Amino acid sequence: MDAGPEANAQHAAFDAVSFLQAHGIRITEPRRRIAELLLGRPQHRSAEQVTDALRREGFRISKATVYNTLNLFASHGLLRELAVDPRRSWFDSNTSRHFHFHDVRRGVLSDVAVAEVQFARLPEPPPGMEVESVEVVIRVRPKGESPAG
């Protein structure tokens, strides 16, 4: 996984129970586990990855519980659901505004700062509408490899 020794130290220091309580979320065991896994540091995980990680720790949890918990956290602004990959739901614990590289081969997301992207031109929104947000996903693959089928 993407967790180095530094990340583990931060992970250990993160108080998931206090964090959830501060956001008005009632504590349950799945919520605490998922918060500890995801919310202590910026990262991108799919619902499947969260389920697998918890099961590897020996915690029995259904996919439905993981989805419901991730959506609950997203509805409280603790996570952002990313529409980058039609095959799976990704959740980002960095809720500040930014864009993404999507490594289509390894299925990994990495952040792109807003300042790194410049829009030379956007179309006029339809009459009576204004632009609320723009999402950018830059799909990447190892050089020389053919596009994913």
Q: Name the minimum Å distance from CB 48 to Zn ion.
A: 18
> In whole angstroms, how close is the CB of 90 to Zn ion at the nearest point?
9
Of the pair 43, 51, the CB lying nearest Zn ion is at 43
Whole-number minimum distance, CB 13 to Zn ion, in Å? 21
Specify the residue, 35 or 79, whose C-beta has the smaller distance to Zn ion: 79
8 versus 94: smaller Cβ distance to Zn ion = 94
Query: In this structure, which long-range contacts are made by residues 106-114, counting pairs with CB atoms below 8 Å and at least 24 apart in sequence?
Result: 107/46, 108/2, 108/44, 109/44, 109/82, 109/84, 110/44, 111/42, 112/136, 112/138
Residues that bind Zn ion (CB under 5 A): 92, 94, 111
